[in-house]
């Protein structure tokens, strides 16, 4: 019998339960595909704090309500409203709380299992991508689609992207491409494929603690071999193009490739924010050299505030994609040729007024 735990924030958007020795966190905004707001972040963090020293809790399970997905991302509309109302200064508080939660998940002393079933994007990657055991299903669709709104991957996404095989990280970061289960495992965003109809059985196994006992060993009882990854098959042209030093050179190489997917990718990139593409390329490559997830989150914190406080492309991208939905953003500058050569370095050097780890 599930016993609801005390919920410090809005109980209608996060449900907490004790199920045997399992602490279960269920995101419960199914109409919004469980998109994260600040209250949800606080509620999840408080649950982890409470369960850390609870001797009766051995494992934490994170999942999402509804059939559509674990989490579609963060509160992008709220970010837009802050910027256009002249209150972009409020943005830092949201990201500090979110990034602290991302780091907490990665460093938690008890195993955290995440069900990235269905749509898991942006902020959802921040929850699932850093868990100890990351489960995807045949319905999973994972992505870091921030460049589509004139932004850059965050929530530790640059850390994961920087460690993907070959130049897959640059490809996924710049295009915002969606991965299926096989791709997520290949790219290092997930560990196991379990069919969606078996997720409840797996949860029951965690609760009953049948032999074998570790979460990974239990997942392996339900794990299926993932099919071939399309990303892996595309590595020859992805690596050849996305190893170029700059975005214009990447585009040039894509145009020179014989593969139809390379040409389609070039068409996609040419419609995205030149600023977002340029900064994102440098960010992923910088993250590849960083020593820890916390260091990557700190770098991302500076970048997101640079975008929110200084760049018109972020509110314009949100407007075009999510507010007016005209899909016709007017980027400033409009072309790669109009960007200063040191744009990426400038963005990476931006220093927020308030530190992330305060």
57 burial via Cβ count (<10 Å: 0-12, 13-18, 19+): buried
Catalytic residue, chosen from 98, 154, 170, 183, is 154
Catalytic residue, chosen from 73, 123, 124, 129, is 123
Beta strands across the sheet bearing 133-136: 3-4, 14-19, 22-27, 59-64, 112-116, 133-136, 192-193
Catalytic residue, chosen from 9, 75, 98, 146, is 146
Q: What gap in Å lies between CA 44 and CA 8, rounded to an integer? A: 9
Contact predicate 90/113, CB 8 Å: no
Active site includes 123? yes
DSSP 28-79: --GGGTT-B-HHHHHHHHHHHHHHHT-TT--EEEEEESSSSEEE--B-HHHH
Active site includes 146? yes
Q: What gap in Å lies between CA 222 and CA 154, rounded to an integer? A: 31
CA distances from residue 354 to 23, 93, 150, 279, 305 in whole angstroms, order as listed:
33, 9, 23, 22, 10
Known catalytic residues?
A: 74, 123, 146, 154
């Amino acid at each position: 019998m599930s016993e609801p735990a005390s919920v410090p924030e809005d109980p209608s958007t996060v449900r907490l339960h004790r199920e045997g020795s399992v602490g279960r966190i269920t995101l419960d905004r199914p109409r919004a595909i469980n998109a994260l707001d600040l209250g949800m972040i606080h509620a999840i963090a408080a649950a982890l704090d409470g369960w850390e020293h609870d001797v009766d809790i051995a494992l934490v399970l994170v999942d999402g309500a509804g059939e559509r997905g674990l989490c579609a991302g963060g509160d992008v509309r709220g970010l837009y409203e802050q910027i256009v109302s002249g209150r972009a200064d409020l943005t830092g508080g949201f990201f500090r709380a979110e990034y602290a939660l991302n780091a907490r998940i990665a460093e938690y002393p008890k195993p955290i299992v995440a069900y990235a079933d269905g749509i898991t994007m942006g902020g959802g990657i921040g929850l699932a991508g850093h868990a100890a055991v990351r489960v995807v299903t045949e319905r999973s669709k994972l992505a870091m689609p921030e460049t589509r709104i004139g932004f850059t991957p965050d929530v530790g996404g640059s850390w994961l992207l920087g460690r993907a095989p070959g130049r897959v990280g640059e490809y996924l970061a710049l295009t915002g491409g969606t991965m299926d289960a096989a791709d997520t495992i290949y790219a290092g965003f997930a560990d196991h494929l379990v069919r969606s109809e078996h997720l409840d059985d797996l949860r029951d196994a965690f609760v009953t603690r049948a032999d074998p006992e570790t979460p990974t060993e239990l997942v392996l009882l339900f794990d299926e071999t993932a099919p071939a990854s399309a990303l892996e098959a595309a590595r020859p042209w992805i690596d050849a193009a996305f190893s170029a030093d700059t975005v214009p050179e990447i585009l040039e190489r894509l145009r020179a490739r014989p593969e139809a997917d390379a040409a389609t990718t070039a068409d996609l990139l040419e419609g995205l924010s030149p600023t977002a593409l340029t900064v994102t390329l440098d960010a992923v490559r910088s993250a590849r050299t960083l020593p820890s997830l916390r260091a990557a989150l700190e770098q991302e914190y500076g970048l997101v505030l640079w975008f929110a406080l200084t760049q018109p492309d972020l509110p314009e991208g949100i407007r075009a994609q999510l507010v007016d939905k005209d899909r016709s953003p007017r980027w400033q500058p409009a072309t790669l040729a109009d960007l200063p050569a040191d744009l990426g370095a400038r963005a990476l050097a931006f220093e927020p007024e308030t530190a992330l780890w305060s």
